[in-house]
Amino acid sequence: MNPARRRLTPYLLLLAGVAWLLVFFVAPMVYQASTSVQTGSLDKGFRVTWHFATYWDALREYWPHFVRSLLYAGIATAACLAIGYPLAYMIAFRAGRWRNVVMVLVVAPFFTSFLIRTLAWETILADQGPVVRFLDAVHVLDVTSWLHVTQGHRVLATPLAVVCGLTYNFLPFMILPLYTSLERVDARLHEAAGDLYATALTTFRTVTFPLSLPGVVAGTLLTFIPASGDYINAELLGSTNQKMIGNVIQAQFLRVLDYPTAAALSFILMAAILAIVTVYIRRSGTEELV
């Protein structure tokens, strides 16, 4: 192949994919940026007036939704890590010949519509259902309502239900990267650490966990980012008091038809996520994610 053609090949290969993303991902973002500083109304049309006050107004009105979104997403991410790590660890080191079976069970829910599965949580957490009645009987609900995460004798329409749903929905996104990085850890390292006087817990703390850190970082990002923008769980499992920023953007866009506010909210959310993610990646010291 002559050198000129060889130099052109990658660009030809990229052309379609990159063009698609430029036109349908980047361009809309740029357009969204311009929308956020427009003013006007539906009848008279919108014009760019560099009206940055939209951001200020949006933030002032909806800051509780932002805080709530990031808080719920954060708690759900932590819960995913706590629940997902043992499972990923089990698949990687303890599942033996059951490994593939368990992997199938982890991946399979992906294929059932997640709306249907979220609706199933409505059934599980239903007011008169066995779960709630049990929790009520053993007075767990008393404690949780004292903590303001549930209300009275119900779990549905409370923060607990929303966080529970978020945790459930994004758990596979945590488990898969965790498993991928744990699988690469040589099981003999555990024996080597044991040979060098480390207890099981020390081995985990000083060997296994550090080696799985890329998976932890990837998993937390893959969980946190979509969770913070989600509005399905808040809509189906929460009440008006648990609305997240996704609900607001969706309503502004599809019902109120206030496009500048919807755009401004999107950009604030994006900026918040980007800031958190950047700080997080810096601190965890794994910048080679991409």
Partner 1 sequence: MTRTTRTAATRTPPVRTSPVRWLRRNAVVVAGTLALCYLMLPNVVVLVFSFNQPKGRFNYTWNHFSTDAWQHPCGVADMCGSLGLSLRIAVYSTIGATLLGTLTAFALARYRFRGRGATNMLIFLPMAMPEVVMGASLGTLFLNMRIRFGFWTILIAHVMFCLSFVVVAVKARLASMDPRLEEAAQDLYATPLQTFWRITLPLAAPGIAAGALLSFALSFDDYIITSFNAGSAVTFPMFVWGSAQRGTPVQVNVIGTAMFVLAVLLVVAGQFAGGRRRSARRTV
Q: Which of 4, 25, 44, 47 binds partner 1 (CB under 8 A)?
A: 25
Exposure string over 10-34, b if 16+ CB within 10 A, otherwise e: eeeeeeeeeeeeeeeeeeeeeebee
SS3 state of residue 112: coil
Could you tell me the smallest distance in angstroms from the CB atom of residue 273 to partner 1?
A: 7
SS3 state of residue 48: strand
108 binds partner 1 (CB under 8 A): yes
Instruction: Considering only residues 266 through 285, tell me which ones interact with partner 1, judged by CB under 8 A.
Output: 266, 269-270, 273, 277
Instruction: Considering only residues 140 through 169, tell me which ones interact with partner 1, judged by CB under 8 A.
Output: 168
Exposure string over 108-123, b if 16+ CB within 10 A, otherwise e: eeeeeebeeebeebee
Could you tell me the smallest distance in angstroms from the CB atom of residue 49 to partner 1?
A: 16
Instruction: Considering only residues 208 through 247, tell me which ones interact with partner 1, judged by CB under 8 A.
Output: 221-222, 225-226, 228-232, 236, 246
For residue 69, give the amino acid letter.
S
Could you tell me the smallest distance in angstroms from the CB atom of residue 37 to partner 1?
A: 13
CB nearer partner 1, residue 2 or residue 146: 2
Instruction: Considering only residues 4 through 23, tell me which ones interact with partner 1, judged by CB under 8 A.
Output: 7, 9-11, 13-14, 16-18, 20-22
Instruction: Considering only residues 54 through 93, tell me which ones interact with partner 1, judged by CB under 8 A.
Output: 83-84, 86-87, 89-91, 93
Q: Which residue has the tokens 């509780």?
A: 64
The candidate with the shortest Cα–Cα distance to 248, out of 235, 238, 125, 236, is 235
Q: Which stretch binds partner 1 (CB under 8 A): 105-113, 143-151, 190-198, 209-217?
A: 105-113
CB nearer partner 1, residue 148 or residue 257: 257
Q: Which of 53, 59, 67, 107 binds partner 1 (CB under 8 A)?
A: 107
- Whole-angstrom Cα distance, residue 156 to residue 146? 16
